[in-house]
Amino acid sequence: SNSNNGSEDVDAEMVVLPVSLTLVTGISSLRVALPDDLRPPEKRQVLLCALQDMAARYPAGLPQLDPVEDMGITQDKDLVQAVVTINELEQQLVKNPVFQAERDKERFALYAKKAALDERAAELRAQLKGTLLASFREESKQRMQVLRKLRHVGADGTVLLKGRAACEIDTTDELLATELMFNGCFHGLDKHQLLGLVSCLTQPDKSDEEVRLEKVLADPLKQLQDAALAIASISREAGLDIDEEQYLNSFRPSLMDVFYNWSKGKSFAEVAGMTDIFEGSIIRVARRLDELMQQLAHAAQVVGDETLAKRFMDSNETLRRGIMFSASLYL
């Protein structure tokens, strides 16, 4: 029946359908006389009217068939007890706020709205996942193009010598570090200049003071900046979203002069006075610089350049001294 809570519905039509026994949740004590033949539409319509009238007279629900009261089954004590238990549980169920909420039209409408929103959210998450995956695939192709252009990988995806060196570096921008290693920039520096230049790769804090560099550091810094701009340009040509100026400024020479002079033997008080960056920040950069120098030395060994590896290790020895690497700053 298409009747809704017993209300009259002129469009309702009575239909005879087979129903599985498992779908029957209860049997009413009320009975309706069925016509001998339900195939004629008018016969089904008469039955529909009778059901609607009965539902209107019992708005709280049709009375259920009681095996004891209505059917007179009193000998089976287990059945009698089961009926009592069912009645008690049904009374408790009616008082349950969740049960009541399910029958509250306003609350049910809110729940239905929430269910629809949850379903829509799941659809959007699936779409987002697909979009992110597509974006990741596109970015992966672009980055692979950059690696080929910089000769980190071959045309067939094989990792080349520069790529093997880059794999050993994870404390700074490995593309720029390996570019400086392979373009000869590091080879032309003494151990003091080398330490000062590599400090730019640790991304130190920004200084408000104008950076004053020793003359011997100006040319290595220019080579670093040229290499960084070349990498940024190649990345942009490949389609990556990169700001060349922002990328270049991430390799600041704020502490270049500080570590150059520290490497040459000046005291911590002297080098700390060369910058407005806090002493604690200088020490933190020194610890990162130490780790980076070790990685660069290992990368040089991996590609078979023992001379450069030794130069990194000798340069790092000039860093690891004094208060910067003291076990406690209070000693």
Per-residue pLDDT, 293: 96
Q: With helix as H, strand as E and coil as C, how does the chain read?
A: CCCECCECCCCCCCCCCCCCHHHCCCCECCCCCCCCCCCCHHHHHHHHHHHHHHHHHCCCCCCECCCCCCCCCCCCHHHHHHHHHHHHHHHHHHHCHHHHHHCCHHHHHHHHHHHHHHHHHHHHHHHHHHHHHHHHHHHHHHHHHHHHHCCCECCCCCECHHHHHHCCCCCCCHHHHHHHHHCCCHHHCCHHHHHHHHHHHHCCCCCCCCCCCCHHHHHHHHHHHHHHHHHHHHHHHCCCCCCHHHHHHCCCCCCHHHHHHHHCCCCHHHHHCCCCCCHHHHHHHHHHHHHHHHHHHHHHHHCCCHHHHHHHHHHHHHHCCHHHHCCCCCC
Alpha-carbon span 300 to 313, nearest angstrom: 11
Q: What are phi and psi of 66, to 5 degrees?
A: -100, 120
In this prediction, residue 50 carries a pLDDT of: 87
Q: Which two tokens stand for residue 3?
A: 């009747």
Please state whether the predicted TM-score (pTM) of the whole model is above 0.75.
no
Quote the CA–CA distance of 191 and 316 in Å, as a whole number.
Answer: 8
User: If you search the block for the tokens 């519905």, which residue do you land on?
Assistant: 9
Residues 84-140: pLDDT tens digits? 898 888 888 888 888 887 777 888 888 889 999 999 999 988 888 778 777 888 889
Phi, psi angles (nearest 5°) of residue 74: -120, -10
pLDDT of residue 11: 66
Whether the CB-CB separation of 52 and 19 falls below 8 Å is answered with no
pLDDT tens track of the chain, all 331 residues?
Answer: 434 444 444 567 788 888 898 888 888 888 888 888 888 888 888 888 888 888 888 887 888 888 888 888 878 888 888 888 988 888 888 888 888 877 778 888 888 899 999 999 999 888 887 787 778 888 899 999 999 999 999 999 899 999 999 999 999 999 999 999 999 999 989 999 999 999 999 977 777 777 778 889 999 999 999 999 999 999 999 999 899 999 999 998 999 999 999 999 999 999 999 998 899 899 999 999 999 999 999 999 999 999 999 999 999 999 999 888 887 655 4
